[in-house]
């Protein structure tokens, strides 16, 4: 159960395995590389939610990357039929499925990760190539079709600079809401030696992006 993952709602978070990226700062890498075993199947999840109607407002799907699962729309239809709202976390690699679900009205809130400036996108995602046209398409779809949404970046001292946030701001120019969330190290993070920027740096990064978006805020910064 979470009071944080789905803004304004009491929700439960469903973690789905698999991902397109191999981000060196990922908190859920055991879901990415498949070492985490499933704790319930779809029917068990539906039974869990059936018992909690009236107690929970919504279900937040995260990962990994939920949109790798092509049967996700059918699962969401079943959950929505119980009266739940749906939040989707995505990396933006699957714009066609994203657009289809939004046009059908299956998703109430989308949170898309913006990994870095275009020049450093692939490096930050831990891959040799990142299809930025796909990322830009997902950004446009979310801004056009999502009932509510946010863009967000996990900020890592070793991977981000102030100039990167100016470029990110341009990438999502006109967005209603953008969060910069401070990296937190954990045992599950695949690459050691990464750290969070200080508060002064985070404030500078926010200011660099803020001129391009409606609202720019910090998360995880004391």
pLDDT digits (tens, 9 = 90+) for 72-114: 999 999 999 999 999 999 999 999 999 999 999 999 999 999 9
Q: Quick one: DSSP state of residue 73? A: H
Structure tokens at 118: 């275009």
Write down the pLDDT at residue 221. 83
Q: Under CATH, domain 11-219 is a member of which superfamily?
A: Aldolase class I (3.20.20.70)
Which element (helix H / strand E) includes 61?
A: strand 58-62
Measured CA to CA, the distance from residue 100 to residue 204 in angstroms comes to: 37
- The pLDDT, as a whole number, for residue 186 is 77
Please give the pLDDT value at position 29: 82
Q: In 3D, which of 152, 173, 164 has the Cα closest to residue 201?
A: 164
Rounded CA-CA distance 64/99 in Å is 19
pLDDT at 200: 97
At residue 154, the pLDDT reads 97
pLDDT at site 193: 86
From first CA to last CA, the distance across the chain in angstroms is: 24
Residue ranges in the chain whose pLDDT is less than 70: 188
pLDDT at 11: 94
Domain coordinates in residue numbering, the chain? 11-219
């Amino acid at each position: 159960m979470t009071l944080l993952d789905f803004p304004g709602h009491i929700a439960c978070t469903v973690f789905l395995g698999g991902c397109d990226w191999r981000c060196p700062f990922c908190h859920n890498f055991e879901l990415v590389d498949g070492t985490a075993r499933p704790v319930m199947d779809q029917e068990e999840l539906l039974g869990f939610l059936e018992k909690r109607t009236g107690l929970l407002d919504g279900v937040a799907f995260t990962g990994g990357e939920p949109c790798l699962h092509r049967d996700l729309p059918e699962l969401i239809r079943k959950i929505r039929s119980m009266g739940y709202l749906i939040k989707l976390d995505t990396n933006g690699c699957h714009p066609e499925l994203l657009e289809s679900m939004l046009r059908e009205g299956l998703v109430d809130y989308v949170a898309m990760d913006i990994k870095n400036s275009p020049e450093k996108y692939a490096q930050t995602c831990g891959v040799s190539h990142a299809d930025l046209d796909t990322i830009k398409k997902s950004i446009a779809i979310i801004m056009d079709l999502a009932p509510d949404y946010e863009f967000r970046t996990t900020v890592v001292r070793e991977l981000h600079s102030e100039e990167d946030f100016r470029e990110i701001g341009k990438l999502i120019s006109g967005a209603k809401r953008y969060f910069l969330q401070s990296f937190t190290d954990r045992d599950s993070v695949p690459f050691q030696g990464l750290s969070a920027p200080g508060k002064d740096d985070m404030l500078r990064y926010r200011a660099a992006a803020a001129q391009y978006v409606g609202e720019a805020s910090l998360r995880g910064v004391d």
